Amino acid sequence: MYGGGSQSRARDQKSKKNVRKQVVTPPVKRFPMTNEAAPTSTKPSSFVPPNRDALLNAHHPNMRKKKEIDPKMLLNVQDYHNQARATLTRNAYDYYASGADDQLTLAENQNYYAKIKLLPKVFIDVSNINTKVSLFNNTQSIDFPVIIAPTAMQRMAHADGELATARAAASLKTIMCTSTLSTTKLEEIINQPEVADTGCMWYQLYILKDRDFTKTLVQRAEASGFKALVVTVDAPRLGNRESDHRNKFSLPDGLSLANLMDDLKKNGEGQTTSALNHYFKNQIDASLTWDDLDWLRGITSLPIIAKGVITPEDAIKAHEKGCAGIVVSNHGARQLDTAISTIEALPAISHALKSINSTCDIFVDGGIRRGTDILKALCLGAKAVLVGRPVLWGLAVNGEQGVKEVLTILKKEFELACMLCGINGTEKCSNDFLLMPGDTVMDKWLRSKL
């Protein structure tokens, strides 16, 4: 779609800069401490957008003045990331981009994809690629295997925030999972005509100490038409994100955690809180166990997806508790640093669930930036991937249109990766197309002859 012999020299140079490199996390932390390589490969960690504070846009305190950009020059997710970084305030950018502690897992989530090699097969009819995926025993379906991950406070990225993201998801015929920590009320997000008519939305839930309030959230989500509950299971506390501490992260004036306002008020917390950590500490129930899913099961008929599973043992527990799906996730590397990367964790989890004939659908998030990453995740047993930060970068750059463009890029890259690998449908994805780190083609070949 975007490539071709007649590209300008400028575009060629731009795309060369975007060739993905192994990301090395420097020992000393400096802004922008993110695993996603800065625009040039020379000095990633010293990149600072020009005149950050001088460029603050007066009418929208979350945004910097936008430079005119030619959207055609934004060819991939990294281009959107670079542009978003130059657009967002440090408060917002760092909140979205950062991981926990030294951000080693943040880097590894992406790096491990690069360590997995593709083994393409040739002379296969790839004139039609079926990118559709059906979920939960054919009760839901998406046009391509990319779902929008729950990310908090999207109105820091764009004034339209979650409303824009939901419209983009519906127009691309995929699912958006809305965060409990959204800056727009859940009913407003799903009740937009474009979304209500064609969209499929999931709702991400934190089980709070206040069970009555949690129950109200679940009932509101179900009544307004959300089609699954994605329960976060890896956040008894928020992880240690040092840039948020340095920035004294706060939700900008005029924005609020719209679904939690009653709860925040009841518990005496302000809406301009730097108090996300505070809220978590006080309100998230750190005593939760797998048995608490029985309580949830008792108050909803929606499918339950456990998000934050990273070991085969926990995947089996989720299955035993009747989860319709799991998201293999380390919370975008924002919780426990040095936790295993998600794509490295995926094969054992797929194997474990297959060995007990589980029908639990497997999803994976974390570090997906290219169509080849999506393909690798599917070959390792995922039904679909969830993407969070790439969507925020699209939203920051160009609202609904930016999210559509990022999703379209991923879809087209995935289609191309399938074609070039000799895969003409998502159901054909398998381990046969992969060489895992440490394996050799010779060993794989010999094993296949046993």
367: annotated binding-site residue? yes
Q: Least distance (Å) from ligand GLV to the CB of residue 370?
A: 23
**Integer angstrom CA distances of residue 357 from 36, 320, 350, 448:** 37, 12, 10, 23
DSSP secondary structure code for residue 38 in this structure: P
Confirm whether 331 is a catalytic residue.
yes
CB 409 within 8 A of CB 75: yes
DSSP secondary structure code for residue 71 in this structure: G
Show the 3-state SS of 217-286: HHHHHHHHCCCCEEEECCCCCCCCCHHHHHHCCCCCCCCCCCCCHHHHHHCCCCCCCCCHHHHHHHHECC
Q: Least distance (Å) from ligand GLV to the CB of residue 132?
A: 30
167: annotated binding-site residue? no
Closer to ligand GLV at the Cβ: 33 or 133? Answer: 33
25: annotated binding-site residue? no
241: annotated binding-site residue? yes
> Which residues, 6 or more positions from 181, have their beta carbon under 8 angstroms from its beta carbon?
152, 153, 257, 259, 260, 276
Q: Least distance (Å) from ligand GLV to the CB of residue 99?
A: 10
Q: How many CA atoms lie within 13 A of 381 on its CB side?
A: 23
Closer to ligand GLV at the Cβ: 157 or 417? Answer: 157
C-alpha–C-alpha distance, residues 66 and 33, integer Å = 23
161: annotated binding-site residue? no
Closer to ligand GLV at the Cβ: 69 or 284? Answer: 284
Name the catalytic one among 59, 158, 331, 351.
331
Closer to ligand GLV at the Cβ: 178 or 398? Answer: 178
* Closest to 325 in 3D by CA, of 227, 438, 217, 254: 227
95: annotated binding-site residue? yes
The single-letter code of the amino acid at 134 is S
Q: Least distance (Å) from ligand GLV to the CB of residue 272?
A: 17
Q: Report the length, in residues, of the chain.
A: 450
C-alpha–C-alpha distance, residues 407 and 391, integer Å = 8
232: annotated binding-site residue? yes
Closer to ligand GLV at the Cβ: 23 or 177? Answer: 177
| Residues that bind ligand GLV in the complex, under the rule CB under 6 A | 152, 181, 331, 334
The single-letter code of the amino acid at 402 is G
DSSP secondary structure code for residue 366 in this structure: S
C-alpha–C-alpha distance, residues 129 and 418, integer Å = 7
CB 260 within 8 A of CB 339: no
C-alpha–C-alpha distance, residues 387 and 150, integer Å = 9
Q: What is the distance between the terminal CA atoms of the chain, rounded to a whole angstrom?
A: 42
Q: Least distance (Å) from ligand GLV to the CB of residue 334?
A: 4
Closer to ligand GLV at the Cβ: 348 or 368? Answer: 368
Q: Least distance (Å) from ligand GLV to the CB of residue 197?
A: 29
Residues in the annotated binding site for FMN:
150-152, 179, 204, 232, 307, 329, 365-369, 388-389
Residues in the annotated binding site:
95, 150-152, 179, 204, 206, 232, 241, 307, 329, 331, 334, 365-369, 388-389
Catalytic residues: 331
Residues in the annotated binding site for glyoxylate:
95, 206, 241, 331, 334
